[in-house]
Structure 1
Amino acid sequence: MQSDLQVTERSSDGGLFTGGNPVTHWSVRAYKQVDYEVRVEENLLSLGNRAILEDVAEGKHARRLVVVDSVVDELYGTRIRAYFEHHGVEYKLLVLADGESHKDMRQVLEVVKALDEFGVDRRREPIIAIGGGVLMDIVGCAAGMYRRGTPWIRIPTTLIGLVDAGVGVKTGVNNDGHKNRIGSYFSADRTLLDRSFLATLDERHIGNGLAEILKIALVKDRRLFVLLEQHGARLRSERLQAPAPGGADPAAEVVERAIHGMLEELQPNLWEKVLERVVDYGHSFSPVIEMHALPELLHGEAVAVDMALTTVIAEQRGLVTSDERRRIFSVMTGLGLSSWHELCTPKLLVPALRDTVRHRDGQQRLPLPVGIGSAVFVNDLTEDELERAAQSLADLHWGDVR
């Protein structure tokens, strides 16, 4: 921590108050370095793997609050309990409801209550969060709030957690019908990424995460797009588990490139001081679409609809060719993602754009793809243009359906 204290008004003799005029103005500046680790691991719940407890010396008594979602408890609860019991850890397992519909302050306060009841030592006993992106956000909010900051460890179990929700510092929960309206920036000490958790996901949830990977591909990584184009359908059906024939492992490269691309954008702008962020691609209209469609649409599915709409806008502006748009939509289909939803109408999209402008300090700062693998920001999208794009997207969808 670096700090600087400046006194901008002093007494007449140049010193502090000594009976003359008092000091009435101080300027405080403090700089805190943020360090956190994102690391790929294999078989985290294997009894011989101490990555989760690497900060605990062998034989030393340890205590941990472990927070999981209900799906993780059903699939891995027995193994999680066995892991901590095997290592002699005193633990409390808190199970939270799963899904975006439960991502609110009530869940955050459930974590806070458990922290109090368990009596966590906020310096030495990090919270361990094992679950999907929703759980990551809930526990991250609670960790940042509890005693003004309690260390925590993330273990994402979904693809969207591995490549998106589990790698940044932003946490947030929904409030009053608005997505992620309450939250903070609070980094986990470390994030442990174990691709084997994906084996128990259904194909829809794999597609949900692949949407966020496609986002990175479209705005900054053409090679990643080609990988999805060539292997996306198989990666989805095989849950990114099996190497390709011949020994190549496109799944590993896809995940690695997605994480690296995301961190490359986040690292210099963790607190989002710069509001033009290419990783906001797919997130201009999707928050409103997703919240109105709950629980029908998953997060990545709403992002895909947003990306399809903005691809059409880019095509109409000459930034994307019709062939590139067809390739993008074809990849979406291969990933199990729809490029359209019935809520994608001007009635919802126009207010969504206005909300985005408020969120981005009075400007649209709307990222649009330029070809495949690059992006540009625009501030001049009109409501008429948005309406034409929505109609074109609907025509493309129903034309394909027919």
Structure 2
Amino acid sequence: MRNHQETIPTPAGLFTSGDPVRAWTVSTTKPISYQVSFAPRVLDPDNPALVSAGATTGAAARSTTGGARTRRLLVVEARVYELYGDRIRAYADANRIDHTMYVLPAHERLKTMESVFRVAAAMDHFGIARRCEPVIAVGGGVLLDIVGLACSLYRRSTPYVRVPTTLIGLVDAGVGAKTGVNFGPHKNRLGTYHPADATLLDPSFLATLGRRHLSNGMAEILKIGLIKDRCLFDLLDQHGERLIAERFGRTAQGGGPGDEVLARAVHGMLQELQPNLWEHQLERVVDYGHSFSPTLEMRALPALLHGEAVSLDMALTTVVAWQRGLTDASRRDQVLNLMSRLRLPVWHPLCEPGVLADALADTVRHRDGSQRLPLPVGIGDAVFVNNLTASEITSAALLLREHQRRRDTAREARHA
């Protein structure tokens, strides 16, 4: 009896004798390649990076040789438009770009399918070409996720370019393959894997970023330092406060510790993402800080920013690592003190047993029935565990609450 399930035959083998095939296995490979690069002064009209990013070869050649004008839809976050709208328009005019600028308010409470539909409507109204007119997204991580999801759905795959304007966008949200929006009480529950054709990283945007949002991004940098790059941790320990105060000022021109901090953070993130871009392997060290934080962030909205929730998660798991002998008390305190110096929280009233238990249960479902929980080993390494107990979580939260109480008392004494 002939096997009635086959891979699709080559043309030469289409017509063969015997019973007809009634089941097939289709197998193909889709190569993925995308660019992430630092692009200082990306809005300088003489800088071709933005107009050529993501363009097909012919379109890029025409735009740089003064031929036919290019077309671009630019989706710009509302606050970014207030600060940079005139410069974006001047860039487009100087580079002969026929453009529409669609201004989109974007923050965590607006990270919904409704925002995705608004971007899709703007794409439809613009009449975007399917392959040679990448959408340009300019804004923070929330906007980049919204535009990425819209582009993944529109005509089933539309190219786009990311220009992150926040620190968390530069080192985290802007460099991976995932898109996503919130659904119900769940963070990023709806999403796709659809990397941008290009991501242009310009640290000069940080000059207009608020102090809290700089600290917010520092949490994702600290994550990489804690689980894979001791040198990056040491750089934050030595220079982190000054980098926040100066808004990475020297980095915009290149050089200095801020330049190395950003480069190491992006490299470390991409080094982990590249071999597992579609997350077939669910043990991911870059999930560090993301076991309890999704639930904490969504339940606290709008009180906690993403990086602040990640910091709470890392503080909890740092204490758990100390309880298990994976790190010593001096390193534990060094980590917690650095978080405080970077103005990141180490405790929040939501860090109570019921909420943390719910958070861990949701993470277990997300990771196919196992905890797969990364814990730091010292500083710069990590291990995965599947046996974290409720009592460990509770005792870690209580220790952090006491740590916070002592810090608050000392602060009040200094200002008395």
Give the TM-score band, short-chain normalised: over 0.9
Matched, 1:86 2:85: no
Residue 365 of structure 1 corresponds to 372
Q: Which residue among 28, 45, 48 is the counterpart of 2:46?
A: 48
Task: Return the alpha-carbon distance in structure 2 between the equivalents of residues 58 and 188 of structure 1.
Answer: 25
> 2:25 is matched by which residue type in structure 1?
S
Offset at residue 7 of structure 1 (A): 1.3
Instruction: Name the amino acid aligned to 1:213.
Output: I
Output aligned runs, 1:297-308, within 5 Å.
Answer: 297-308=304-315
Deviation (angstroms), 1:177: 1.4
- In structure 2, the partner of 1:378 is 385
CA distance in 2, matches of 1:131, 1:302: 21
1:91–1:381 distance in 2 versus 1, CA, 3 Å: same
Q: Helix, strand or coil: the match of 2:133? A: coil
**Counterpart in 1 of 2:188?**
180
Select between 330-339 and 136-145 the one with higher mean Cα deviation.
330-339
Counterpart residue type for residue 301 of structure 1: E
How big is the shift at 1:8? Answer: 6.3
Of 167, 174, 179 in structure 1, the residue corresponding to residue 175 of structure 2 is 167
Q: Are 2:22 and 1:24 aligned?
A: yes
Quote the Cα distance in structure 2 between the aligned partners of 1:205 and 1:283. 18
| Aligned-partner Cα distance in 2 for 1:126–1:181 | 25
Structure 1 counterpart of 2:323? 316
Residue 192 of structure 1 pairs with residue 197 of structure 2: no
- For the 8 Å contact 2:7–2:27, the answer to whether it is kept is no
* SS class of match (1:223): helix
Q: Distance in 2 between matches of 1:30 and 1:107?
A: 33
The question of 1:283 aligning with 2:282 is answered: no
Superposed CA RMSD in Å reads 1.7
Q: Which residue of 2 aligns with 1:108?
A: 116
Letter in 2 for 1:289: L
For residue 31 of structure 1, give the secondary structure of its aligned residue in structure 2. coil
Q: Determine the C-alpha separation between the residues in 2 that align with 1:371 and 1:249.
A: 27
CA offset digits 1:67-119 (Å, max 9, x no partner): 01111011101111111122221111111112111111011111100111110
Task: Identify the structure with the greater helix proportion.
Answer: 2
Q: Is 260-269 or 333-342 further displaced after alignment?
A: 333-342
Structure 1 gaps of 5+ residues are: 1-5
Q: CA deviation at 1:21?
A: 3.3
Q: CA deviation at 1:9?
A: 11
- Which amino acid in 1 is paired with 2:43? L
Between 54-63 and 158-167, the greater mean CA deviation after superposition: 54-63
Letter in 1 for 2:6: V
Distance 2:272 2:24 in 1: 35
Give, in angstroms, the shift of residue 25 of structure 1.
Answer: 1.0
Tell me the amino acid that sits aligned with residue 22 of structure 1: P
Which residue pairs with 2:413 in the alignment? none
The amino acid that maps onto 2:48 is R
Counterpart residue type for residue 378 of structure 2: G
Classify 1:182/1:199 alpha carbon distance in 2 versus 1 (closer, same or farther; 3 Å): same
**Structure 1 residue corresponding to 2:133, chosen from 105, 125, 128:** 125
- Output the amino acid matched with 2:382: A
Alignment-mate amino acid for residue 310 of structure 1 = T
**Cα deviation 1:277-324 (Å, max 9, x = unaligned):** 000000000000000111111100000000000001111111111100
Q: Secondary structure at the match of 1:30?
A: coil
Cα deviation digits, residues 359-387 of structure 1 (max 9, x gap): 00110000000000000000000112211
Sort the Cα spacing of 1:9 and 1:80 in 2 relative to 1 into closer, same or farther, 3 A: closer
1:401 aligns to 2:401 (yes or no): no
| Residue 147 of structure 2, aligned match among 136, 139, 142 | 139
Distance, in Å, in 2 between the alignment partners of 1:134 and 1:342 is 25
Question: Hey, what does 1:99 align to over in structure 2?
Answer: 107
2:272 paired residue number: 265
2:75–2:138 contact (8 Å) kept in structure 1: yes
Q: Deviations over 1:228-280 (max 9, x none)?
A: 0000100011111136xxx9600000000000000000000000000000000
Residue pair 1:9, 1:25 contacting (<8 A) in 2 also: no
Given that residues 130 and 154 in structure 1 are in contact (C-alpha distance below 8 angstroms), is that contact kept between their aligned partners in structure 2? yes
Please give the secondary structure, in 2, of the residue aligned with 1:179.
Answer: strand
2:6 corresponds to: 7
Shift of 1:396: 1.6
8 A contact 1:219–1:281 mirrored in 2: yes
**8 A contact 2:347–2:397 mirrored in 1:** no
Alpha-carbon distance between aligned partners in 1 of 2:395 and 2:343, rounded to the nearest angstrom: 26
The answer to whether the 8 A contact 1:66-1:129 is kept is yes
**Residue type at the aligned position of 1:50:** P
The residue type paired with residue 158 of structure 1 is: T
**Post-superposition offset of 1:400:** 2.2
Q: 8 Å contact 1:9–1:23 — kept in the other structure? A: no
Please, which runs of 5 or more residues in structure 2 have no aligned partner?
Answer: 53-59, 410-416
Residues of 2 paired with 1:173 and 1:280: CA distance?
18
Matched-pair identity in % = 56
Structure 1 letter corresponding to 2:50: I
Q: CA deviation at 1:397?
A: 1.4
How far apart, CA to CA, are the structure 1 residues paired with 2:308 and 2:262? 18
Secondary structure of 2:360's match?
Answer: helix
Give the match's secondary structure for 1:342: coil
CA distance in 2, matches of 1:86, 1:295: 40
- Counterparts of 1:176 and 1:8 in 2: how far apart (Å)? 41
SS of 2:249's partner is coil
- What TM-score does the superposition give when structure 1 sets the normalisation length? 0.94
Distance in 1 (CA, whole Å) between partners of 2:14 and 2:93 is: 62
Moved more, 210-219 or 335-344: 335-344
Distance (whole Å) between structure 2 residues aligned to residue 169 and residue 17 of structure 1: 43
> Is contact 1:67-1:95 (8 Å) kept?
yes
Q: Secondary structure at the match of 1:367?
A: strand
Give the superposition deviation at 1:57. Answer: 3.4
- Give 3-state SS (helix, strand or coil) of 2:170's partner: helix
Q: Given that residues 140 and 188 in structure 1 are in contact (C-alpha distance below 8 angstroms), is that contact kept between their aligned partners in structure 2?
A: yes
User: Which residue number in structure 2 is paired with residue 63 of structure 1?
Assistant: 71
Which residue number in structure 2 is paired with residue 209 of structure 1? 217
